[in-house]
Amino acid sequence: MKAVGYIRVSTSEQANEGISLDNQRHKIKTYAELKDFNLIEIIADEGRSGKNLKREGVQKLIRLVTSKKVDAVIVYKLDRLTRSTKDLLYLIEDVFIKSGITFCSLSESIDTTTAQGKFFLTITGAMNQMTRDQISENTQDALKELIRQKRRLGSPDMTPYGFKQTKRKKAEISDLKLIPKEIEDVKLMFSMRKDNRTLEVIGKRFGLAKSSVKYILENKIYQETGIISSVYEH
């Protein structure tokens, strides 16, 4: 059976060895050998979020499947493929199943050749989507509370990294919106600092001055909105 592996890591996850590309690659190769699959390729999307399917790697995966060049798809964990239930069901129902593909997710022990595997896949996908939605809701709730308190974020004339102003002059909290990609960068900055990386090293990673990194790490908005809570849970 010809198989293709798919691996992904977001910007904020690159410092996490447990979910690194190398770790995912090793797990998939080991599984393919155990199942006696002919692993022809492992496709990687590095530094990409799983919130949608607008990724070069996942689009290549879809092309391989729909052109019937492979018989099985292997991922380390379901959320590596996508964090969206809608996209997950699309891939399973309209891409994999229609093409007669076996889908294997190692962490969840999913095998879509069985009814139980298909059921568990749907439930797991829904849980991943719920977790993502809850994080977003919690952040918005925290912002609303700061608005109620009529709080500003840092210096009155400066918009915190990871946010954008919806008006040009001195934004209040109610005038700020999240920028998902920059928020991922913020999480990685805090993670690197937790690992005792210097301000200079972090700054070079993101092309920022040490003073800018220091300002970000000391800005209470990230703690107060729960944006970086996951960094300190491990």
Residues marked active site are found at 10
Dist. CA 99–CA 95, nearest whole Å? 6
Dist. CA 106–CA 94, nearest whole Å? 22
Contacts of 200 (CB under 8 A, 6+ apart): 210
Q: Are 51 and 83 in contact (CB under 8 A)?
A: yes
Q: Residues of 49-58 as b/e, b for ≥16 C-beta within 10 angstroms?
A: bbeebebebb
Dist. CA 84–CA 50, nearest whole Å? 8
In the chain, the largest separation of any two C-alpha atoms, in whole Å, equals 62
Supply 197's token pair: 């990386």
219 φψ region: left (φ > 0), alpha (ψ -120 to 50), beta (else): beta
